[in-house]
Amino acid sequence: MPPASKRSTAARPRRPTPIFQDLMRHRVQHILLVSSLYDSFILTEDGQVNEALMRQFSDQNLSQNPDLIRVSSGAEALAVAGEDGRFDMIITSIQLGDMNAAELARRVEEAGLDIPVVLLAYNNRELTEFLNRHGRGGIDRVFLWQGDVRILLAMVKDQEDRRNVRWDTGRMGVPAILVVEDNIRFYSSFLPVIYTELMHHSYRLISEGLNIPQKILRMRARPKILLCETFETAWSYFRKHEENILGILSDFEFPREGRLDRRAGVELVSRIHKVRPDIPTVMQSSIPENEAVAAGLNASFLLKGSPVLLHRLRELLVEQFGFGDFVFRMPDGTEIDRARDLRSLVEKLRTVPAETLAYHGERNHFSMWLKARTEFTLAEKLRPRKVSDFPTLEDLRQDLIRSISAYRLARDRTVVADFDRDTYDASSSITRIGAGSLGGKARGLAFVNRLLLETDVASRFPGIRISVPPAVVVGTDIFDQFLDENHLGDFALSSTSEEEIEARFAAASFPEQALRDLDAFLQRARHPLAVRSSGLLEDSPSQPLAGIYRTVMVHNRGSEEQRLAALVAAVKRVYASTFSRQAKAFLGMTPFRLEEEKMAVILQKIVGMHHGSRFYPSFSGVARSHNFYPIAPMKASDGIAAVALGLGRAVVAGDACLRFCPRYPRHVPAFSDIDGFLKNSQREFFALDLSAQAPRYGEEGAELTRLGLAVAEADGTLAALGSTYSPEDHTISDGIARPGVRLVSFAPMLKHGVFPLAQLLDLLLEIGCQGTGTDVEIEFAVNLSVPSGESPEFGFLQMRPLALTGEMEALEIGDLPDRSLLCRSRSVLGHGKLTDLRDLVVVDSNRFDRLRSLEVAEQVARINVSLQGQGIPYVLIGVGRWGSMDRHLGIPVTWNQIAGARVIVESGFKDLWVTPSQGTHFFQNLTSLNVGYFTVNPQAGEGLIDWDWLAARPALEDTGFVRHIRLDEPVTVMMSGKTGEGVILKPQT
């Protein structure tokens, strides 16, 4: 991109020579963030926060960065903004608990506060509903969070550029780029990219700069972005600054004269070209045919929705630039070394010449550099120290090293530290290999780490080690590098063969530096490892991709070469799962593009103990702060936990496990029914098989072994969780002291205080809810089999917000006669009214054969593919538990096999009650996509389903077990997320 100076020609009136103080007069320095702690964490605690923020803001001024003050309610925001007049911008979420964003904007205005209110939404559906209902009102600009922390940059820059354009561009001639786009999701996605590229571009100029003021000048003189959402705004900007418009990036269709105009883009570009025919123009559209139209206007073309959109955009806008090092110089300005980050800064500080230290010290370069990286505390600490305060320059050197090291140590406890081959300690909490983001899951873990420390949970449970198991995160940059170096990106996006993707990934070479880091990591980490996905989009509050990507376990045994090979293979498998059919299907349902997804990988110590050729924790589980199926005296808000002996696969896969309410550990419903408990309690558990070979494609879970309880008893792991059934007395007694049939009941723990599981979970759920401002789900594993003298270990594996949005507004179902109903349930997930469903896919209760449930799943999948392909949503009705891994308990579909269903009904078998599969990944995904979920057990008087009516409808297709019915008129589905009630009404005819 041509620098600003090229745009000023001699023919035009001479402008004043810019000096940096004149530029960027309006800067966003103080931001009031109104959101839950979790929302703010997403913004500020992405693994790369320090570097990311530094990159984002370093163009402004090496010593000035915006600070973020967070409050959690509208009222608090108004109070803080009113008292403290320094805020330049308010960033708000849609719902604030006490008010929504529209009301906040209105009240800010009413209070006479001249602060723009910018909305940052986390969920497209929620945003659309909000805008439909409230309009923009006083909201200055709306953005949509899409997993990219750089959106903060875009929001701030957008604000600043608009405020400064009049002076900077109008008076000082700083160039500007017109971006015309009214689609919030699109501009939220590409504005950060454009700004980032501009930052890189500008930053490159620093090293060319001669002195600090010049550097600053160049940084501040970077081109401005003028985002316009209407024809009129764009034209008005152009008319005002036509000389300085560097280029145009325009949509085809956007509002003109108050109405959406398909030709607005063409008109605008044509009109501008009449004035400035040479202006570089890029036009974008989701219609491929428009490429020709763009060509006709002498404009480049970008296809919206293209998997390589951002890549193309980047190509079109700028070249690659380096960024970010601390440049050590001799007093004469000669560069002698560079430091990329704090770690290398400390390293270089040990060796650079003393005069260099003096040079930078005297000029406060260290504190300025640190401040640019948002290391405010350290910067503030170093700033007052003068070189003259130290007897010798060596004392200055030691003080700097000490201060920075101590700071890093303290910071690394709560934030993610960089992996250091030489100093890595396998017991330290979370470190990162490579740059880029940590991804959603790892970010969540870092957040948990911070919560655990801040709330000091450990002191409330002395004698238990409560922590996030040590983990190393391979950052998303390594993923990018892996794809780039092996040219796998486009192939993986377009290939439909998972097997081929996995094979090519397996054969591809792993980035050299990262490989050496992994090798160094394995030198110290000799325990079994869980290799877990951590996608950018994973576990975001509105779009949890829970369980979509792969987790691979490696036993980490054998020669060094074997261990490294197995680990790298596992990482590649996780990478490959980014492009699985399931992931593609899931993302297809969301506003995101797969190209936007980037994969970080967590290498985490598996909590557990060796027992012969097996490795497993005493137990694992999932706890949720909201229970959709509470039984008195429990309330929905009391939460629910599901636990199982051994590895957590049993819990997430919906196998037999024990459910209890952490607030009522002694009120376990399952204990009341001996026959039911015998039938449904866990009899087998999962362990890592230490003798297993690395699994090949299609061998999901081959590294695991399924074992009976006799093994657990012999290993000593059953004692704390077991009970005993006596056939003679037909009773179940707590513990395993007596002879009889062993069961997993957790009774010694829940009733006899062997381990304070319930109390701990209750506290963690509470802390999680407070921290995120929403209901959460946590995953954990506990190891009680520790050597004598050591404390039991509670490993906090994951926390994610439960997607419960949209369940707050009341929906009256009323009294409806049974004959008008196809289905009624009091156990419904989902909320809202649907009136557009005519297609029913029905697994006939009379024909269903539990032993052939795999065939049933296949038949359902086939119909799903056809309907999804045609874009027809449908109601899926079946018997047993949907998505059950035990094919005897239901229909073992995977998520993508039913991804097109809008409403799902599960009914009990004639001889078996369906217990809803709480807390499974399957459920999590369904609820996040707002798929309605009805559970009925008519044989037990819980709800109804009119099988006879269904049987009397003619089938459009009948595959043996499954009937596809297309009704002439749609059914009406009503679901109340608040009361958990729902009905499906037959068509009115």
Binding mask 748-767 for another protein (x = CB under 8 A): ---x----------------
Q: Which is nearer to another protein, 275 or 631 (CB)?
A: 631
What is the DSSP secondary structure assignment for residue 789, as one 8-state letter?
Answer: T
Question: Least distance in Å: CB of 883 to another protein?
Answer: 20
Q: From CA 112, how far away is CA 449, in angstroms rounded?
A: 41
Q: In terms of CB distance, is 163 or 667 closer to another protein?
A: 667
Site string for another protein, 691-730 (x = CB under 8 A): -----------------x-----------------xxxxx
Give the footprint of another protein on residues 104-143 (CB under 8 A).
none
> What's the CA gap between 464 and 271, in Å, rounded?
71
Angstrom distance (rounded) from CA 982 to CA 976: 6
Among 683, 706, 826, 953, contact with another protein (rule: CB under 8 A): 683
Smallest distance, Å, CB 908 to another protein? 13
Run of H or E including 443:
helix 439-455
Residues 867-896 that bind another protein (CB under 8 A): 888
Q: How far is the CB of 847 from another protein (least distance, A)?
A: 6
Pairing of strands 335-339, 326-329: antiparallel
Q: Single out the residue of 327, 520, 678, 944 in contact with another protein (rule: CB under 8 A).
A: 678
Burial code of 34-69, b = ≥16 C-beta within 10 A, e = fewer? bbbbbbbbbbbbbbbbbbbbbbbbbbbbbbbbbebb
As to burial, measured by CB atoms within 10 angstroms (0-12 exposed, 13-18 middle, 19+ buried), residue 783 is buried
Residue type at position 975: M
DSSP 124: H
| DSSP structure class, residue 672 | G
Tokens 């369904």 locate to 926
Shortest separation between residue 846's beta carbon and another protein, angstroms? 6
Which of the stretches 58-66, 73-81, 186-194, 676-684 binds another protein when contact is defined by CB under 8 A? 676-684
Q: Which is nearer to another protein, 465 or 667 (CB)?
A: 667
Question: How far is Cα 431 from Cα 433, in angstroms, rounded to an integer?
Answer: 7
Q: Which stretch binds another protein (CB under 8 A): 47-55, 410-418, 432-440, 841-849?
A: 841-849
Query: Shortest approach of another protein to residue 736 CB, angstroms?
Result: 13
| Phi/psi at 624 (5° precision) | -125, 145
Angle between helices 101-110 and 74-83 (to 10 degrees): 30
| 430-433, strands of its sheet edge to edge | 417-418, 430-433, 471-474, 599-605, 529-535, 551-554
Could you give the dihedral angle defined by the CA atoms of residues 389, 390, 393 and 398, in that order, rounded to the nearest 10 degrees? -120
Using DSSP's 3-state secondary structure scheme, residue 957 falls into strand
Q: Site for another protein (CB under 8 A): which residue of 275, 287, 674, 816?
A: 674
Binding track over 429-468 against another protein, x by CB under 8 A: ----------------------------------------
Site for another protein in 892-951 (CB under 8 A): 910-912
Q: Count of alpha carbons within 13 Å of 866, Cβ hemisphere only? A: 10
Question: How far apart are CB 634 and another protein at their closest, in Å?
Answer: 8
Residues between 843 and 862 that touch another protein (CB under 8 A): 846-847, 849-852
Q: Return phi, psi of residue 825, to 5°.
A: -145, 150
Taking CB under 8 A as the binding criterion, the range among 352-360, 509-517, 524-532, 842-850 that sits at the site for another protein is: 842-850
Which residue, 669 or 806, has its beta carbon nearer to another protein? 669
Which residues make beta-bridge pairs with 804? none
CB of 741 to another protein, least distance (A): 5
CB contact burial 572-586 (16+ within 10 A = b; e otherwise): bbbbbbbbbebbbbb
- Only one of the segments 245-253, 306-314, 379-387, 671-679 lies at the binding site for another protein (rule: CB under 8 A); that segment is 671-679
Q: Where does this chain touch another protein (CB under 8 A) — which range of 10-18, 281-289, 668-676, 715-723?
A: 668-676
Instruction: Report d(CA 63, CA 382) in Å as an integer.
Output: 13
Segment contacting another protein (CB under 8 A): 14-22, 39-47, 534-542, 679-687?
679-687
The 370-409 site mask, x for binding another protein (CB under 8 A), equals ----------------------------------------
When the beta carbons of 306 and 733 are compared against another protein, the nearer one is: 733
Total residues contacting another protein (rule CB under 8 A)?
Answer: 37
794 vs 848, beta carbon nearer another protein? 848
Structure tokens at 38: 């979790």
Least distance from C-beta 541 to another protein, angstroms?
A: 32
Minimum CB separation of residue 551 from another protein in Å reads: 27
CB of 568 to another protein, least distance (A): 38
Q: Is the peptide bond before 633 cis (omega within 30 degrees of 0)?
A: yes
Nearer to another protein, 561 or 728 (CB): 728
Q: DSSP label at 165? A: I
> Whole-angstrom distance between the N-terminal and C-terminal Cα of the chain?
65
- CB of residue 731 to another protein, shortest distance in Å: 3
Residue choice 669, 806, 832, 916 for contact with another protein (CB under 8 A): 669
CA distance linking residue 540 with residue 591, whole number of Å: 13
Q: 161 with 224: CB under 8 angstroms?
A: yes
Please identify, using beta-carbon distances, which residue of 467 and 859 lies nearer to another protein.
Answer: 859
Nearer to another protein among residue 170 and residue 740 (C-beta): 740
What is the pattern of x (binds another protein, CB under 8 A) and - over residues 631-650? xxxx----------------
Q: Measuring CA to CA, which residue among 125, 156, 120 is closest to residue 139?
A: 120
With a CB cutoff of 8 Å and minimum separation 6, the contacts of 741 are: 678, 724, 725, 726, 727
Question: Contacting another protein (CB under 8 A), which of 84, 319, 394, 673?
Answer: 673
Q: Is 826 in the site for another protein (CB under 8 A)?
A: no
CB of 815 to another protein, least distance (A): 24
What's the residue count for the chain?
Answer: 989
Report yes or no: 932 and 834 within 8 Å, Cβ to Cβ: yes
CA distance 39 to 772: 7
> Which residues of this chain interact with another protein, rule CB under 8 A?
631-634, 664, 666-669, 671-674, 678-679, 683-684, 708, 726-731, 741-742, 751, 846-847, 849-852, 888, 910-912
